[in-house]
Amino acid sequence: MKTLQENLVLVDDMIAIRGVVKKFSAAAGEVTVLKSVSLTIQRGEFVSIVGKSGSGKSTLLNMVTGIDHPTDGKVVVNGTDIYTGVSESQRSKWRGKNLGIVFQFFQLLPMLTLLENVMLPMDYADLYDFDSRPQRAMELLKLVGLEKFANKLPVLVSTGQQQLAAIARAMACDPPLLVADEPTGNLDSRSADTIIQLFESFVAQGKTIVMVTHDPSLTSRTHRNVIIFDGELIDETISRALPQLRHRHLLELTKLAETRAYQPNETIVARDQRMDYFFMIRKGEVEVTLQDKQNQERSLSNLSKGEFFGEVELVRDGKSIANVRAGNQPVEAVAVPHADFIRVMNESPIAAEAVGKIASRRQAIA
Amino acid sequence: MSSALIELRDVSKTYSTAAGDFTALVNVNLKIDAGEFLGIVGKSGAGKSTLLNMLNGVDQLTSGEVIVSANGESVSVHRMSEDQLASWRGKNIGVIYQSFQLLPMLTLLENIILPMDLSNAYHPRKSKERALELLQLVEIEDHAHKLPAHISGGQQQRVAIARALANDPPILIVDEPTGSLDSVTAEHIFDVFEHLVHDKGKTIVMVTHDSGLASRFSRSLTIADGALLEQRSA
């Protein structure tokens, strides 16, 4: 059942995906590529979507662009519910004004010069005065450093330059949202870096960018990293806290997770309380304190977004040896049952080692 | 005055690179007659794509000349200005590449209309009619209002062929058109090309690395290290 909060779409939301299901019919029967996916992306965010081949990441992106249609659920982009009562041609018009799209294979028209390629969306959306279009296209080519090649056909410039031209074209109608599917997948690392710098400059100007990629050097440069596995989204707090885990395990924990909210200064775990959960912080800060030999309360650490507590090192005989309370702001945490956490750790030695290292570093400071 | 549709006379192309000069084409002489389906087969780096770029004037040549006599006018391709060249190319040459480069957010019909509108060759009302005719020609008119994502790769290549035919050019230049298609689909794409040559009077110059396709051409040539090697008729 959907909660009210899940259905809510706020003004600040650039993209609100709610309960989206996508099924395809294949020779072997029906395949469900997206299994009730909900995701909110706010204005001005730079978000990467990652996932293995076949995980559903491109399908998810196609739900935002309207290139493919959901079997069920709702997608609101820049305030428009794009699948409810909207015809294909209305959606096409809407897209022209709201969305820039960049693909791995650049889709430049081979018989048009770079300048003409950049002018295409302005012609199609019938935006900007006819006579001002070449000048605007030239400014965009300048922005991506291609003004010298404006009158060349795509075949005569490098693949990196073709992708830059495709980005200039995507920005032709000054859309608030840029959607990119593996934009650097076909490029060397230097060209890829140029493109990410360009994206960063767009974000600095207030654009929202959503990018599908499998390149870890790109995901580290986005505000958020959304992981999709087998048609379902992994909780971002969990993937941030336990980045070494396999996607399969991350999804397993996502399904077991409960969200907990705490008031400022509220005790989250009291000493000697049974530790039934492992916690990861989604919002706010918590303070972890230990009692020293003189029975003095000593601060062990302050933890914030993406950090965790309740791991083995703070637990003795199933009970907490530490006090954990919320800081001066409200705290939101994700809790997974301790027994499940231990089981997943036992199956993931690399993640267990990483968690162990962080825990012993904290204790060393104490 | 040349009697061939396309004639290359001693065409050479040298690129300057950081590692020194690289000769991509060496004294290529070639006559292509109207109505030929010419295949040029060679390995990667043999000079295939450079040769195509010489035919349509996309790239400059280092020496030699390319004469094209089409639509009642004989031109030396590399002696035209950029503007003349662009307008000449628009009327005389259609291009088809391995990657179909359809715009994913436009329907098939719109994908064909858009470049027509941009070249101003047809009145907007006529261009839609023409686009539908072309989709019919490549037998895909039933899908006219679909987006490229909703049709197969082979069907997308058909749309790209239809788009290349928008301005009814007498010459089609084709670079590895079936490189990303399975063999059955590739066969069907060849059927479309054969139909264009035999029934529509088009001339097709195609480059490919797949020597297995040689039997499908009316003539096939091999290129290696920038030189045309042998000439055999099918």
Q: pLDDT (tens digit, 9 = 90+) per residue, B30-63? A: 999 999 999 999 998 899 999 999 999 988 999 9
- Separation CA B138–CA B108 (nearest Å): 12
The CA distance from B125 to A15, in Å, is: 37
CB B95 within 8 A of CB A111: yes
Backbone angles phi, psi at A288, to 5 degrees: -105, 125
Q: Phi/psi at B232 (nearest 5 deg)? A: -140, 150
Got the DSSP string for A24-53? EEETTEEEEEEEEEEEEEETT-EEEEE--T
**A307-342: buried (b, 16+ CB within 10 Å) or exposed (e) per residue?**
bbbbbbbbbeeeebebbbbbbeeebbbbbbebebbe
pLDDT number for residue B220: 94
Write down the domain spans for chain B: 35-60+81-233
Share of chain B above pLDDT 70, in %: 95
**Contact between A109 and B104 using a beta-carbon 8 Å cutoff:** no
C-alpha distances out from residue A4 to A7, A184, A208, B36, B85, Å: 5, 38, 25, 67, 62
Q: Are the Cβ atoms of A110 and B101 closer than 8 angstroms?
A: yes
Query: Does position B233 have pLDDT exceeding 70, yes or no?
Result: no
Q: How many Cβ atoms are within 10 Å of B75's Cβ, its own excluded? A: 18
Residue ranges of domains in chain A: 4-232, 250-365
Alpha-carbon distance A364 to B16, whole Å? Answer: 61
d(Cα A75, Cα A198) in Å, to the nearest integer? 27
Helix (H/G/I), strand (E/B), else coil: B143: helix
pLDDT at A27: 79
Q: Could you give the CA distance from residue A233 to residue A130 in angstroms, rounded to a whole number?
A: 44
Q: A155 to chain B: which residues are within 8 Å by CB?
A: 49, 53, 58, 97
Q: Is B48 left (phi over 0), alpha (psi -120 to 50) or beta?
A: alpha
Q: Which residues contact B209 (CB under 8 A, 6 or more apart)?
A: B41, B42, B43, B44, B48, B176
Q: Which of B201, B169, B216, B173 is nearest to B35 (CA)?
A: B201
Residue B194's pLDDT is what?
Answer: 94
Residue B234: which pLDDT band, with cuts at 50, 70 and 90? very low
B35-60+81-233 CATH choice from 3.10.20.30, 3.40.50.10330, 3.40.50.1860, 3.40.50.300: 3.40.50.300
Q: If you count residue pairs, one on A and one on B, with CB atoms under 8 Å apart, how many are there?
A: 65
Partnered with residue A50 across adjacent β-strands are A227
B101–A105 C-beta distance less than 8 A: yes
pTM: predicted TM-score of the whole model, two decimal places: 0.82
Cβ proximity of A319 and A342 under 8 Å: no
Closest residue to B118, CB basis, from A67, A110, A123: A123
Write the burial class of residue A201 (CB in 10 Å: 0-12 exposed, 13-18 middle, 19+ buried).
exposed
Tell me the C-alpha distance between A85 and A71, whole Å: 15
| Spacing of C-alpha A54 from chain mean position | 17
Closest CB to A153 among B58, B103, B118 = B58
pLDDT at B82: 84
Among A111, A133, A155, A186, the strongest candidate for a mutation testing the B interface, having the largest count of B CBs within 10 A, is: A111
Cβ distance of A108 and B106 shorter than 8 Å: no
Assign domain A4-232 to its CATH superfamily: P-loop containing nucleotide triphosphate hydrolases (3.40.50.300)
* H-assigned helices in chain A: 4-7, 57-65, 88-98, 114-125, 133-143, 159-170, 189-204, 216-219, 236-241, 247-256, 338-347, 349-365
d(CA B49, CA B6): 17
Contact A111 B53 (CB under 8 A): no
Q: List per-residue pLDDT tens for chain A, 366 residues long.
A: 445 555 677 878 999 999 999 999 877 889 999 999 999 999 999 999 999 888 999 899 999 998 888 999 999 999 999 999 888 888 888 888 899 998 877 788 888 899 999 998 898 888 899 899 999 999 999 999 999 999 999 988 998 899 999 999 999 999 999 999 988 887 888 888 989 999 999 999 999 999 998 887 788 899 999 999 999 999 999 999 999 999 999 999 999 999 999 999 999 999 888 889 999 999 999 999 888 778 888 888 899 999 999 887 777 777 888 899 999 999 999 999 999 999 999 999 999 999 888 888 877 765
What is the enclosing helix (H) or strand (E) of A300?
Answer: strand A297-303
Asked if residues A362 and A309 have their Cβ atoms less than 8 Å apart, the reply is no
Tell me the CA distances in angstroms from A115 to A25, A128, A153, A241, one per residue in order: 40, 15, 9, 46
Nearest residue on chain B to A181, alpha-carbon basis: B104
Instruction: Please identify which residue in the block is written with the tokens 């935006």.
Output: A127
3-state secondary structure of B16: strand
Rounded Cα distance between B11 and B27, Å, is 5
Q: What distance lies between CA A294 and its chain's CA centroid?
A: 47
Chain B contacts to A (CB-CB under 8 A): 49, 53, 58-59, 82, 86, 89-90, 94-95, 97, 99, 101-107, 110, 114-115, 117-118, 145, 147, 149-150, 164
pLDDT of residue A6: 59
Residue B122 has pLDDT above 80, yes or no: no
CATH code at A250-365: 2.60.120.10
Q: Do A110 and B115 touch (CB under 8 A)?
A: no
Q: Supply the pLDDT for residue B106.
A: 85
Question: Which tokens go with A102?
Answer: 């960049």
SS3 A111: coil
User: A288 and A314 in contact (C-beta within 8 Å)?
Assistant: yes
Per-residue pLDDT, B94 = 92
SS (H, E, C) B1-45: CCCCCEEEEEEEEEEEECCEEEEEEEEEEEEECCCCEEEEECCCC
